[in-house]
C-alpha cells in the first residue's frame, strides 16, 4: 500500500450489484481487486472488504462478522437500508465506513476505500456521519465518507 494502491475484495449476495461495483473498481488504477476472495483466513491482511447488502439481515450480519473477525480486513458497508439498531450492530462488528447504496457513486466508493485503508485503529471513520444524520429520511441521508 506504500505506492497508494489498495487491495480490495467485494462481497455481497446480489450478483448484479456486485458485478457493477467490481466493474467500477477494475477501472481504478489505485485498486488491486481480488475478484474471487480466497477463504477468509487467507485473505491479505490490510485489504479493504467492500460489503454490499440491501439491508442488514441475518445473511448480511453473518457475512459481516466473518469479514471483521480477527480485524484482518477493514470493511466498507454499502447498504440500502439501515435502522438505528442495525447501525449499532454494524459499529459493534467494527465496520469502518457506511455508504448509502442509492447515493454511492464510483468516486464516493473509491474515497471511502482509500480513507479506510489509510485509517488505522478500530474506530469507524465514516460511521459517525451516519449517526449524526440517522433521523433523516434515508433518501436525504449522508453522502458517506
Mean pLDDT for the chain? 79
The mean per-residue pLDDT over the stretch 15-43 comes to: 82
Q: Give 120's Cβ-side CA count (13 Å radius).
A: 0
Residue 35 has pLDDT above 90, yes or no: no
Its pTM stands at 0.78
Identify which has the larger pLDDT, 34 or 135. Answer: 34
CB-based contact 125:96 (threshold 8 Å): yes
Partnered with residue 38 across adjacent β-strands are none
The mean per-residue pLDDT over the stretch 24-39 comes to: 83
Identify which has the larger pLDDT, 47 or 144. Answer: 47
Would you give the end-to-end CA distance of the chain in angstroms? 20
Residue 13 has pLDDT above 90, yes or no: no
Confidence of residue 46 (pLDDT cuts 50, 70, 90): low
Identify which has the larger pLDDT, 145 or 118. Answer: 118
DSSP run (H or E) holding 64: helix 58-68
Is 81 in a helix, a strand, or coil? coil
In this prediction, residue 133 carries a pLDDT of: 47
DSSP run (H or E) holding 60: helix 58-68
Burial 100-113 (b: 16+ CB within 10 A, else e): bbeebeeebbbbbb
In this prediction, residue 42 carries a pLDDT of: 55
Stretch among 45-49, 119-123, 132-136 having the lowest mean pLDDT: 132-136
pLDDT tens digit sequence for 65-122: 888 876 678 899 999 988 888 888 888 888 889 999 999 999 999 999 999 998 865 5
Amino acid at each position: 500500500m506504500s505506492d497508494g494502491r489498495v487491495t480490495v475484495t467485494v462481497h455481497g449476495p446480489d450478483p448484479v450489484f456486485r458485478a457493477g461495483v467490481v466493474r467500477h473498481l477494475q477501472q481504478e488504477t489505485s485498486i488491486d481487486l481480488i475478484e474471487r476472495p480466497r477463504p477468509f483466513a487467507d485473505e491479505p491482511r490490510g485489504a479493504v472488504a467492500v460489503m454490499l447488502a440491501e439491508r442488514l439481515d441475518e445473511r448480511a450480519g453473518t457475512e459481516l462478522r466473518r469479514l471483521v473477525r480477527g480485524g484482518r480486513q477493514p470493511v466498507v458497508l454499502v447498504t440500502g437500508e439501515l435502522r438505528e439498531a442495525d447501525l449499532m450492530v454494524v459499529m459493534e462488528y467494527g465496520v469502518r465506513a457506511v455508504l448509502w447504496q442509492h447515493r454511492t457513486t464510483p468516486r464516493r466508493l473509491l474515497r471511502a476505500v482509500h480513507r479506510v485503508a489509510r485509517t488505522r485503529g478500530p474506530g469507524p471513520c465514516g460511521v459517525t456521519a451516519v449517526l449524526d444524520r440517522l433521523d433523516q429520511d434515508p433518501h436525504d441521508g449522508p453522502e458517506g465518507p
